[in-house]
Amino acid sequence: MAHRNDLATAVADGDRGALARAITLVESQRPADKAAAEQLLTTLLPRTGGALRVGITGAPGVGKSTLIEALGMQLCDAGRRVAVLAVDPSSTVSGGSILGDKTRMDQLSRRPEAFIRPSPGGGTLGGVASRTQEAMLLCEAAGFDVVLVETIGTGQSEVAVHDMVDFFLLLLSPAAGDELQGIKRGVMELCDGVLVNKADGDLIAAANATAQQCTLAMRVLHAGEANPPSVRTASATTGEGLSELWREIESTLARSRADGRFTQRRQQQAVRWLERSVREGLQALFEADGQIRTALASAKAKVAAGELVATAAANDLLRQWRNRCSAG
Ligand SMILES: Nc1nc2c(ncn2[C@@H]2O[C@H](COP(=O)(O)OP(=O)(O)OP(=O)(O)O)[C@@H](O)[C@H]2O)c(=O)[nH]1
Ligand SMILES: [Mg+2]
């Protein structure tokens, strides 16, 4: 117990080694570690919530990591403390991760004001997202005042990251104008801002054209909204446009703080996180029961063969499970 309190104190003191150990603890799947992690998070909860949480999504190679590094350096220079996290569902399959194998952000990782953590591997997307969210709380408890979350642009992980940040930025490449139709409408609706990256050298004209097309598309998608998401261009490699981007993010968040949307969004996110965790936990409990697993397998075969109605089979399984719960 004393050891755990030491860890909480060390995290709260901003000790980076302790923060790394605390994140390892919340990422652990061992039952004993889970209890310790819950206690740690509960102890530190009053110290959380103080960071600006910004999610960054976009197709592979669009420049997310380069942007995060450049923006992170600017923020550190301005006296901010920046944590970088990632949600990469592919790492749950491969065990690798977007911030792990391909070691980028070399400069930022050497800054004492920055903390970079790759995506946790293993488990469902929901599990990975939950652990990233817990890592975010720990970073806040350790005094980081900006948390940047990189995610690879796939529908589900985008929703998961949108659900944990205050501002969700979509990165497009200069060539995306031709493909705007193809870009999932979902993420265009979800995002709070769009950045056309790589607006440098020969790509400037294409980037401007894409930004124009995107602005029109956003007007249609967000018709009638008081503050439709902004669209701008920048270059993560030259740094052009990045301070304007950050100012825009801060002023958007200042507006939403002033009119209450900021708090409301965080409250909704916390409640959805609870609901998601309950759903996932229930399913895990259900499927962990050996007899239920056997019954489920046989129900699947019968439903597939057209011998059983799916809803009737599901109700029967749930009834069996309830009986087993009340018996056990
Ligand atoms: N010209 C130009 N190239 C850039 C810019 N930003 C990134 N790149 C290049 O684009 C390539 C991909 O950049 P990353 O930052 O790794 O892209 P990413 O979106 O993080 O990629 P994944 O994590 O693999 O999805 C690298 O070769 C970068 O040097 C930019 O603003 N201008
Ligand atoms: Mg990357």
Most ligand 1 atoms within 8 A of CB, residue of 57, 65, 66 to mutate: 66
Q: What is the pLDDT of residue 5?
A: 74
E strands, the chain, are 52-58, 82-87, 114-116, 146-151, 167-172, 193-196, 230-233
Tokens of 306: 């057209």
Q: How far apart (Å, rounded) are the C-alpha atoms in residues 134 and 142?
A: 12
Q: What is the pLDDT of residue 183?
A: 63
Q: What is the pLDDT of residue 31?
A: 87
Rounded to a whole number of angstroms, the distance between the first and last alpha carbons of the chain is: 31
What is the distance in A from the centroid of ligand 1 to the CA of 198?
A: 8
Q: How far apart (Å, rounded) are the C-alpha atoms in residues 26 and 33?
A: 7
Task: Evaluate whether 149 touches 52 at the Cβ level (below 8 Å).
Answer: no
Q: What is the pLDDT of residue 196?
A: 96
pLDDT classification of 97: cutoffs 50, 70, 90: low
Ligand 1 close to Cβ of residue 66 (< 6 A)? yes
| SS3 of residue 85 by DSSP | strand
Is the model's pLDDT at 122 over the cut of 80? no
Q: Read off the pLDDT of each residue in 64-92 and give the average, rounded to a whole number.
A: 91
> Which atom of ligand 1 is found nearest the CA of 69?
15
What is the distance in A from the centroid of ligand 1 to the CA of 60?
A: 8
Classify domain 47-259 at the CATH topology level.
Answer: Rossmann fold (3.40.50)
Is the model's pLDDT at 317 over the cut of 60? yes
Is the model's pLDDT at 289 over the cut of 80? yes
Q: What is the pLDDT of residue 105?
A: 86
- Give how far Cα 136 sits from Cα of 22, 49, 84, 132, 225, Å: 11, 9, 9, 6, 30
Q: What is the pLDDT of residue 126?
A: 82
Give the model confidence (pLDDT) of 180-190 as tens digits.
666 667 888 89
Is the model's pLDDT at 225 over the cut of 90? no
Ligand 1 close to Cβ of residue 131 (< 6 A)? no
The residue ranges of every structural domain in the chain are: 47-259, 289-327
Q: What is the pLDDT of residue 182?
A: 61
pLDDT classification of 177: cutoffs 50, 70, 90: low
Q: How far apart (Å, rounded) are the C-alpha atoms in residues 136 and 164?
A: 9
Q: What is the pLDDT of residue 1?
A: 45
What is the distance in A from the centroid of ligand 1 to the CA of 69?
A: 11
Higher model confidence: residue 86 or residue 91? 86
Across the chain, what does the average pLDDT equal?
90
In the block, residue with structure tokens 């499927």: 287
Residue bearing the CA closest to ligand 1, atom 13 = 63
Ligand 1 close to Cβ of residue 237 (< 6 A)? yes
Q: What's the pTM value of the predicted model, to 2 decimals?
A: 0.91
Is the model's pLDDT at 240 over the cut of 80? yes
Is the model's pLDDT at 236 over the cut of 70? yes
Is the model's pLDDT at 176 over the cut of 80? no
What is the distance in A from the centroid of ligand 1 to the CA of 106?
A: 14
Tokens of 61: 């190679």
Give the model confidence (pLDDT) of 1-13 as tens digits.
446 679 999 999 9
> Which atom of ligand 1 is found nearest the CA of 171?
19
Q: How far apart (Å, rounded) are the C-alpha atoms in residues 173 and 135?
A: 30
DSSP string, 40-76: HHHHHGGG-S-SEEEEEEESTTSSHHHHHHHHHHHHH
